[in-house]
Copies of this chain bind each other. A is one copy, B any other.
Amino acid sequence: MSQENPRIDPRLAGEISRSCVSFNLRKSARLVSHAYDQAFSELGIKSTQFSVMMGTAIQKKASIKNMAKALGMDRSTLSRNARLLASKGLIQLMDGEDRREQLIALTESGWEMLEKAIPVWQQTQAGLESEFGAEWLDGLLNRLKELNRRLP
């Protein structure tokens, strides 16, 4: 006899589930990342790794701390992700002038990987655009970027 528990209004529960920003964002992130991961799988990298490599291609020789800040992730998270990329030979970690710092740079192999990955990225992104419309996607992106700018 499962006590029909009336303490939480089912309509309220449904409304919370449907409108939760956190839940919907995580779900979208999972689903969209999955699409990119599938595309990247032929290259042996994941979308997260692509993001770190792109960040490294732009901010050459950034420290772990600065790159983590730019990517909006925890220092220790990036530290581990970077080691994984280093073990794949795609990036290189080296001491900075300030010897507390570790600087990240792409290796030759890393640049070659990016050259192969960028067309794959473009194709996947284009797929989303044709599915949802460029304008619609821009509306989404602009909101995400505003979130990312303003959240601590």
Contact residues of A with B, CB < 8 Å? 2-3, 5, 7-8, 10, 12-14, 16-36, 47-48, 51, 54-55, 57-58, 60-61, 71-73, 105-106, 108, 111, 114-115, 118, 121-122, 125, 128, 131-132, 136-137, 139-141, 143-148, 150-152
| A105 nearest in chain B by CB position | B2
Contact of A26 with B21 in the complex, beta carbons under 8 Å: no
- For the complex, give the distance between the alpha carbons of A16 and B2 in Å: 53
Shortest Cβ distance from A112 into chain B, in angstroms?
Answer: 9
- For the complex, give the distance between the alpha carbons of A136 and B144 in Å: 11
- For the complex, give the distance between the alpha carbons of A14 and B57 in Å: 9
Contact of B72 with A31 in the complex, beta carbons under 8 Å: yes
- For the complex, give the distance between the alpha carbons of A21 and B125 in Å: 7
**Secondary structure of the A contact surface, majority rule:** helix
- Give the oligomeric copy count: 2
- For the complex, give the distance between the alpha carbons of A128 and B13 in Å: 19
Shortest Cβ distance from A96 into chain B, in angstroms?
Answer: 14
- For the complex, give the distance between the alpha carbons of A27 and B152 in Å: 12
Given contact pairs A111-B7, A136-B143, A121 touches B16 in the complex (Cβ within 8 A): yes
- For the complex, give the distance between the alpha carbons of A23 and B136 in Å: 17
